[in-house]
Structure 1
Amino acid sequence: MASRPSCTGFRCQRIYHLTHTDWLSRLGQNVLAPLIAIVAILTVAVLLRWLAHRLISRLTTGVAAGGMPKIPHPRRLGPTSFERRAQRARTVGSLLRSVSTFVVHGTAFVLVLGKLGIDVAPILASAGVVGVAVGFGAQNLVKDFLSGIFMMLEDQYGVGDVVDLGAASGTVEMVGLRVTTVRDIDGTAWYVRNGTITAVGNSTQHYGVAVVDIPIGYSADVEHALEIAGEAARQAVAEPPLADDILGEVDILGTQNLTQAAITIRLTVTTKPGKQWAVRRALTADVKTALDDAVIAAPLAGLAGLAGLATIARS
């Protein structure tokens, strides 16, 4: 009667048939089978990670390079829109690759522990309890991270943008998953937690608008003043260096405000992102010079203004 191995299973029977050794068949059953399964798990994990990273890279590259209108509208897309799109795509791609690596490697680790005969149920239960405790104690930190992720995905602002975050306003120097660093006009660096940001005002995204308000006296001809101001502004934006920063035509909006001392007229022009302040300063100087040359009445101040109003009323 032929002897039989003390273990069961296909691999055990096969090894015993080849070697006729009981201990070697048991060793193959207890060691070789889990080893083969672990190698298979690790191989599949490496392939899945490679495929996920390749797919994410192709998607982010396609998003960065395509999907843009052939002729971008100046009020929607500034000259840096392509660069911002590529930067955001790279940021999101890096984040997705990190998440995919964590998920694939974490799953493979749990499966390998199971093949080694380790009961993973208590480990998962303990990890869940620890995760809940840590999440409850660090809920502000989790909120900051989630807010930072959504800010990057939505491209609310980036490094170099001029923003108003409520708690601080200025130029963005660093955007992290937890903290955004903003330097204000006085040079103070503000560290704002992403979870505390409820509203973002971005002054340098896509395009800017230079708003020029010029006060004139009550005795001035408003229509004539608007004509002179508009012509001076059009000449200024048609020549360098302002011409390089302009995306649209000068809009004459007319009378903006009435006070006791002056009438305020307003004109606007669309500019490249971040150039609206320099354009506004230059246009203000040029328009003011043109109005002075045309002898447009200047606004009065204080009691003199009130006296002037009374004189105009009596006449």
Structure 2
Amino acid sequence: MWLKIGFVGIKVLLIIVAAGIIVRVAKMLIRKTFAVRIKGPLKYNERRQQTMSKLLENVVAYVVYFMAIIAVLSAFTIDITGLIAGAGVLGLAVGFGAQNLVRDVITGFFIIFEDQFSVGDFVRIGPAEGTVEEIGLRTTKVKGATGELFIFPNGNVTDVVNFSVHNSIAVVDINVGYNADINQVERLIQEFLDTVEEKYEQIIKPPEFLGVQSLTPTEMVVRVIAETLPMQHFAVARGLRRDLKEYLDQNNVEVPLPHMVMMQRPVQK
């Protein structure tokens, strides 16, 4: 009896170890295969390939572990045929009650099939905004800018804003005082913009000076825009503000400061 128990235990241990090794090897092969496709001459969409790679890794893990569970049950001489038949009937019954689960899986399939967004994209889904970490058959994981992880059932992913598909636009507003010569300011800004394209590799087209954007009680606001690579507009806008501020300071164009005027009525005697 002890020999039989020991034999069954060794068999179960070997099944678990073999399943783990198969899953690791399969995931490694999938990653290498998609890495070769991305670097190949056919120019596959890198975002889509990464998403499909993650999905296939999950599917392989589910299938292998399910087969491992069946093999473990067989090692304990449990009738698998009746169990599978019962599982089929139970799955049918659960399927009618698990409509949300079915909806999540179907929605996840169409998200991947239609390439609505992919792993690595910067998206906004409802209140969450961040980088897509993983797209599964049931859930989507989005990592926020400050490290928080949002997990959405795919069926709840309705309104999506994808910032990574097209080029971005960096918008820079500069405040100028009313005492400044607006013609001189426009000339200086244009001279500055003619030199920045070589400095910023993320800029696709030469930046444009749009002119006066608005007039406030204390200042004029002029606007500059620059087309950049997807999701590079934040860094480009910060750099342009800093460099433009230094350039205007060198040419004696000061940023307006708030002024306070105090008036005093004469005291009547």
The bucket for the TM-score relative to the shorter chain is 0.5 to 0.7
Cα distance, 1:165 vs structure 2: 0.9
- TM-score by structure 2 length? 0.62
1:274 maps to what in 2? 231
Cα 1:143–1:258, aligned 2, differ >3 Å: closer, same or farther? farther
Cα 1:262–1:140, aligned 2, differ >3 Å: closer, same or farther? farther
The question of 1:237 aligning with 2:194 is answered: no
Cα 1:166–1:221, aligned 2, differ >3 Å: closer, same or farther? farther
Identity among equivalent pairs (%):
36
CA contact (8 A) 1:212 1:283 kept: yes
Deviation per CA, 1:188-235: give whole Å up to 9, x if none.
Answer: 111122222221122222322211121222233334323322321331
Deviation per CA, 1:148-187: give whole Å up to 9, x if none.
Answer: 2121122222222221112211122222222221221221
Matches within 5 A, 1:23-172: 82-84=45-47, 86-87=49-50, 131=92, 133-172=93-132
CA contact (8 A) 2:48 2:118 kept: no
Q: Residue type matched to 1:247 in 2?
A: I
Deviation per CA, 1:233-266: give whole Å up to 9, x if none.
Answer: 3312223xx1x22211212222223333322211
Deviation per CA, 1:105-158: give whole Å up to 9, x if none.
Answer: xxxxxxxxxxxxxxxxxx9xx95x963x43442222222222221211222222
CA contact (8 A) 1:232 1:290 kept: yes
CA contact (8 A) 1:213 1:267 kept: yes
Q: d(CA) in 2 for partners of 1:65 and 1:188?
A: 37
SS at match of 1:273: coil
More helix per residue: 1
1:174 maps to what in 2? 134
2:144 maps to what in 1? 184
- TM-score by structure 1 length? 0.54
The question of 1:259 aligning with 2:219 is answered: no
2:207 maps to what in 1? 250
2:182 maps to what in 1? 222
Q: Residue type matched to 1:197 in 2?
A: V
Q: d(CA) in 2 for partners of 1:283 and 1:235?
A: 11
Q: d(CA) in 1 for partners of 2:105 and 2:183?
A: 55
Q: CA RMSD in A?
A: 3.3
Q: Residue type matched to 2:46 in 1?
A: E
The question of 1:295 aligning with 2:252 is answered: yes
Q: Residue type matched to 1:83 in 2?
A: E
Q: d(CA) in 2 for partners of 1:90 and 1:182?
A: 17
Q: Residue type matched to 1:146 in 2?
A: I
Q: d(CA) in 1 for partners of 2:182 and 2:107?
A: 49
More strand per residue: 2
Cα 1:141–1:198, aligned 2, differ >3 Å: closer, same or farther? same
Gaps of 5+ in 1: 1-60, 69-80, 99-122, 308-315
Gaps of 5+ in 2: 1-36, 61-84, 262-269
SS at match of 2:214: strand
Cα 1:180–1:85, aligned 2, differ >3 Å: closer, same or farther? closer
SS at match of 1:144: helix
Cα 1:256–1:193, aligned 2, differ >3 Å: closer, same or farther? farther
